[in-house]
Structure 1
Amino acid sequence: MGDERVIGYMKAHKRNGTELFIFARGAVVKGRPKRHNGSMSYFTEILAETSDGFRALDVDVRDASDLDSLVEMMQAAGSEDGESVAVIEHEDEWFGLVRVCENNEIRVFLSDLRAVELSPFADIFADFLDSQPDAYEAEPEEEFGLEDEAAAQADDDAEEEEVAMLEFDADAEWGGDAEIYADRGVLPAELIEQVEKYRSDPARVVAHVGETVGFADQLQAAR
């Protein structure tokens, strides 16, 4: 990737014999309309790749109780020799992509972990929400022989350092694997830049990924 870097950490889990990669930053059903829940609007679509391109699958993301069941649905309804992608969008807030590769590797990208955690899809992405880095907790070193005033100053310095680190983590909103489509032309740095630039327009970022990968037209037709 040249000089481009993505800072974070990787976790690997085993799901039914399939390796699931989780990368965290040192941080949608055929023909169905958007789902409205009060002021909340969701769009979900699952697309499978065939020799003729991507096609929409007649399965509903909302029927999945967790990531395992979603992947099983995608594999059962998709083609045997192709891959598939599930798209979940919450209007003006966040999007999620679940990619099942030809070798059954599972890749997931979420544009805003905190928003996902508050959504009806939190159970599907529970592993990724758990992968958020813990807030930095600075413990002031015990000092002996300091005057009360000096000790208080040391405590203040430690608190300022802790606040600074917490603010850094507060900016780490995306989660999952930023390299989800790196092999198909969507570089991690490019994806993250799109997410940060169009944070209030997740559909635009998904459309950009779709145009690069090749499922944009089919996704737009399902909206």
Structure 2
Amino acid sequence: MYFAALLARTHDGWQASDTELDDVETLSDLTDLARDASVDEDTVLLFIEQEDAWFGIVRVEGEEDPRIFVSDAAAAARSSYGEMLTNELLGGDDDDPADDLDALDLDGTEDGETQADDDEDTADGGALDSGDTVSAGPVGDREILMDLGLSEKELLALDTDALLEIAEALGAGEVLETVR
């Protein structure tokens, strides 16, 4: 199960809103979703978390390219939304991202496959169906939140309930809790 929320910086602080990812098929869709939540093209953070397996942050500011961080590339690559982010970061095969999303259930397993089967298939470090191998560990822009008060070291030290800890470091813990 996924949790997704948007944090948009405003003149009065942060505004949070939960968001549905049902219609999201590409990184461009995620970026557009964040831009739609932006106030005066200010910073918007899109948080995605799959249970306690991994979390991702997409940072969008105006028309700049999105900045992305994923806490565990191997775990994320086994889920539909995480695969979208890791493919962007690692240059994965993106012939038709909709095909990849359609083939995956929301728990990150393929149709007819159980989570245990998926874990066995990826026990060697995250082998994907395409034959690519994704290493466990963080990937992406480790300084994504540095100017907002969360250092690279602090970001890499986060484990469970990371999104709330990030929001608290940004002064947005209470607003994130309202949508959680």
TM-score in terms of structure 1 length: 0.56
Offset of residue 178 of structure 1: 0.7
2:88 pairs with 100, 106, 127, which one?
Answer: 127
Structure with the higher fraction of residues in strand conformation = 1
Corresponding residue of 2:4: 44
Q: Is 1:193 equivalent to 2:161 in the alignment?
A: no
Map of 2:111 onto structure 1 = none
**Take 2:62 and 2:139, find their aligned partners in 1: how far apart are those partners?**
23
Contact 1:61–1:86 (CA under 8 A) maintained in structure 2: no
Per the TM alignment, residue 95 of structure 1 is displaced from its structure 2 partner at its CA by 0.6
Q: 1:47 to 1:185 in 2, by over 3 A?
A: closer
Asked if the contact 1:48–1:85 (Cα under 8 Å) also holds between the matched residues in 2, the reply is yes
TM-score under structure 2 length normalisation: 0.68
RMSD of the TM alignment (CA)? 2.5
Give the direction of change, closer, same or farther, for the CA distance of 1:185–1:56 in structure 2 (3 Å limit): closer
Deviation at 1:82, TM superposition (A): 1.6
Letter in 1 for 2:89: F
Amino acid at match of 1:215: A
2:9 maps to a residue whose letter is E
- What displacement does 1:44 show? 0.9
Identity over aligned residues, as a percent?
A: 31
Residue 115 of structure 1: CA displacement?
Answer: 1.0
Conservation of the 8 A alpha-carbon contact between 1:48 and 1:78: yes
Whether 1:215 and 2:175 are equivalent positions in the alignment is no
- Residue 154 of structure 2 is aligned to residue 182 of structure 1: no
Instruction: Establish whether residue 94 from structure 1 lines up as the match of residue 51 from structure 2.
Output: no
- Aligned partners of 1:102 and 1:214: how far apart in 2? 22
Contact 1:88 1:96 in 2 (8 A): yes
Q: Secondary structure at the match of 2:22?
A: helix
Partner-residue secondary structure (3-state), 2:80: coil
**Distance in 1 separating the partners of 2:58 and 2:143:** 12
Within 2, Cα distance between the matches of 1:79 and 1:121?
25
Unaligned runs of 5+ in 1: 1-40, 132-165
Which 4+ stretches in 1 moved above 6 angstroms?
none
5 Å-filtered alignment, 1:29-178, equals 41-57=1-17, 59-102=19-62, 104-125=64-85, 126-130=87-91, 172-178=136-142
Partner SS for 2:57:
strand
Residue 98 to residue 45, structure 1, CA distance change in 2 (3 Å): same
Provide the rounded CA distance (Å) in 1 between the counterparts of 2:38 and 2:53.
28
Q: Contact between 1:66 and 1:123, CA under 8 Å: does it hold in 2?
A: no
Would you say how many aligned residue pairs link Structure 1 and Structure 2? 140
